[in-house]
Amino acid sequence: MALTSALRLSLACLLLCSAAPKPTCDPSACTPCPEEDPEGTTTPTAAGCCPPCPPPCACPPYLESDCEMQGFASGRVPAGRSFYIDFARKLCTCHPAGDITCAPLCPPLPPACRAVGSPVADGCPRCVCYDEEEVAVPAGSVATRGSQICTCPVHGGQLQCRAPGSEE
């Protein structure tokens, strides 16, 4: 009889413990992760439910000058923050796992591109045509050169000019 009573008491304790209200986690009670945490050890807590702050990323040696120029003088980039490289043609981001990845911001060139240049201020390479003065004209655009109307084909290459009113 004592064994059955002990089993009933244990079962009752298990049921009561699992039915007890659990504390709710309020994400707004978590302190924000600091921008600069030299040791990378700060862990915000609010009733023990807040996640630890992700560690900052260390700039690799080949990116150190880019990191410093953009305000990360310690060589550490906080998780979630980004910086530009290659004349703002790539964006590098620090991920919560502690690694930095860089992605190109320029659209890829089509494989049929006949001539490449940077006719736009963003510096991204594009299909172009060059005129006599070696000025890059964006592919697919129309430009005037003196009294002529010139068209650059969609894949760049040779600028095609004609006199106004003449048919091709």
CATH code for the part of the protein at 116-162: 2.10.70
| 59 token code pair | 């700039």
Rounded percentage of the chain residues whose pLDDT exceeds 90:
42
> Is residue 38 scored above 90 in pLDDT?
no
The yes-or-no verdict on residue 39 having pLDDT over 60 is no
Mean pLDDT of the chain: 81
pLDDT of residue 58: 95
pLDDT tier at 146, thresholds 50, 70, 90 = confident
CA distances from 103 to 75, 84, 127, 164 (A): 20, 10, 21, 44
Q: For the chain, give the percent of residues with pLDDT over 70.
A: 75
CA-nearest of 89, 151, 100, 98 to 122 is 89
**pLDDT reported for residue 167:** 62
Say whether pLDDT at 43 is over 90: no
pTM, two decimal places: 0.57
Give the mean pLDDT of 38-54. 61
